[in-house]
Amino acid sequence: MPRVVVFDETGGPEVLRVVDEPVVEPAAGEVRVRIEAFAVNPLDQMVRAGQSPRPVQLPHARLGVEGTGVIDALGSGVTGLAVGDPVILGAIPDFETRGAYAEYTTLLANRVVPRPAGLEPVSAAALWVSYFTAYGALVERAGMRPGDRVLITAASGGVGRAAIQIANQIGAVPIAVTRQSAKVESLLVAGAAAVIATDREDIGEATRRHTGGVGADIILDAVMGPGLAELSLAAKLGGTLATVGWLDPRPASFPANPSLTIFRYMAFADMVDPVTARRVAAFLAAGVRTGVLQPAVDRVFTLDDIIEAHRYLAKGMPAGKIVVTP
């Protein structure tokens, strides 16, 4: 029988276990996907540890909000898709009955998008959540335009690297922020126009130096925490701050730049809208086709090593996505 990862109690990575379950037939309007690869996200870690944004019913809860595979079966009423189509799982919002940490899963047909041609499964598994988040925050909300100077915190992470590439695709100027000087060169190679290492530079002064004294047009922040007030001063007057994560769990300080327009962007709210999902999918497919968008993968694990994959994520921010292949 196919295998799936479940957990019966919240806690550390060791609560995860791999079990056999029968294949589920897709209901009306659903498709069944044979999973070829899935990504391990910080949200999975939070849910497993009992820190989910919403309650998760135990026992036998699931994990996994993104992955890629091939359509294996169609439910009644599904049109425009066929068995054998390679797809990306657009959003799996249900931790009780389905998830991407599996060899097969079912989901609504409008929650899958075509896998970009030429993108192999491991890279495709690293595409959707990070790139959707970066695109949605920068383009859909902040209105990023060519020439905008965009300051990107946590730039070594999946969303940060996606934001660098998307800014370049639009014609904006990505300025990466990292806490470690050792990561400067890799971020320049990844496409950053400039890199600010906060272990040796003041973020506000460095940003003004890279923007001719004006400040960033847009700040994309995945950190939050007490440093948010200082970070806000790196924006120009009338600039935009878009927050997309909470890597620092401490309470966030109030932005000290009163002229800022502030967005708190939650990508999953947009992912379940088929119109927005198609628009983002078209943008990402174009970027993959031209070679501007190249998902970064840090390490690949097998399903049998799912506990080690979660332990690896807990060690710190990886340089790209952690991907698991069944």
Nearest-CA neighbor of 184 among 323, 297, 319?
319
Across the range 8-36, mean pLDDT stands at 96
Average pLDDT on 189-193 reads 96
pLDDT, residue 178, reads: 95
Whether residues 145 and 224 share a domain: the answer is yes
Strand partners, 264: 243
Same domain, 115 and 143: no
Q: Which residues contact 257 (CB under 8 A, 6 or more apart)?
A: 232, 233, 235, 237, 239, 241
Helix pair angle (158-170, 274-290), 10° resolution:
80
Q: Which residue has the tokens 């800014």?
A: 167
| The pLDDT of residue 248 is above 90 | no
Is 186 part of any domain? yes
What does the pLDDT read at residue 235?
97
* Terminal CA-CA length for the chain: 13
143 and 252: one domain? yes
Q: Provide the number of structural domains found in the chain.
A: 2
What CATH number does the domain containing 301 carry?
3.90.180.10
Q: Examine the domain organization and report whether 205 and 223 are in the same domain.
A: yes
Angle between helices 158-170 and 128-135 (to 10 degrees): 50
Query: How many Cα atoms are found within 13 Å in the side-chain-facing hemisphere of 170?
Result: 23
User: What CATH number does the domain containing 253 carry?
Assistant: 3.40.50.720
For residue 93, what pLDDT is reported?
60
| Whether residues 195 and 255 fall in one domain | yes
316: left (phi over 0), alpha (psi -120 to 50) or beta: left
Residues 18 and 143 in one domain: no
Is residue 247 very low, low, confident or very high in pLDDT (cuts 50, 70, 90)? confident
- Is position 275 within any domain? no
% of the chain with per-residue pLDDT over 90? 80
Same domain assignment for residues 139 and 56: no
What mean pLDDT do residues 27-51 have? 94
The verdict on 28 and 140 lying in the same domain is: no
Is the residue at 113 inside a domain?
Answer: yes
Confidence band (pLDDT; 50, 70, 90) for 249? confident
Mean pLDDT of all residues in 18-33: 96
Residue 236 lies in a domain: yes
pLDDT classification of 274: cutoffs 50, 70, 90? confident
Q: Residues 40-74: pLDDT tens digits? A: 998 899 899 998 777 889 999 999 999 999 999 99
The reported pLDDT for the residue numbered 116 is 95
Residue 284 lies in a domain: no
pLDDT at 155: 94
Q: What angle do CA 325, 159, 62 make, to 5 degrees?
A: 45
Per-residue model confidence (pLDDT) at position 245: 84
Domain-embedded: residue 261:
yes
Out of 268, 285, 317, a domain closes at 268
Residues 11-30: what's their mean pLDDT? Answer: 96
Across all residues in the chain, what is the average pLDDT?
93
Q: Is the pLDDT of residue 319 over 80?
A: no
H-helix or E-strand spanning residue 288? helix 274-290
Average pLDDT over residues 179-186: 93
For residues 84 and 190, membership in a common domain is answered with no
Whether 246 has a pLDDT exceeding 90, the answer reads no
- Note whether 137 and 106 are same-domain residues: no
Q: Is residue 78 part of a domain?
A: yes
Q: And the tokens for 208? A: 């003004």
Q: Which of 150-154, 278-282, 319-323 has the lowest mean pLDDT?
A: 319-323
229-239 pLDDT per residue, tens:
999 999 999 99
Q: Is the pLDDT of residue 128 over 80?
A: yes
The residue type of 239 is: G
Please give the residue range of the domain that contains residue 240.
132-268
Same-domain status, 140 and 38 = no
What local confidence, expressed as pLDDT, does residue 255 receive? 84
Over range 109-116, report the average pLDDT.
94
Question: In what helix (H) or strand (E) does residue 173 lie, and over which residues does it extend?
Answer: strand 173-178
**Quick check: is 101 in a domain?**
yes
Q: What are phi and psi of 302, to 5 degrees?
A: -100, 165
Q: Are 264 and 314 members of one domain?
A: no
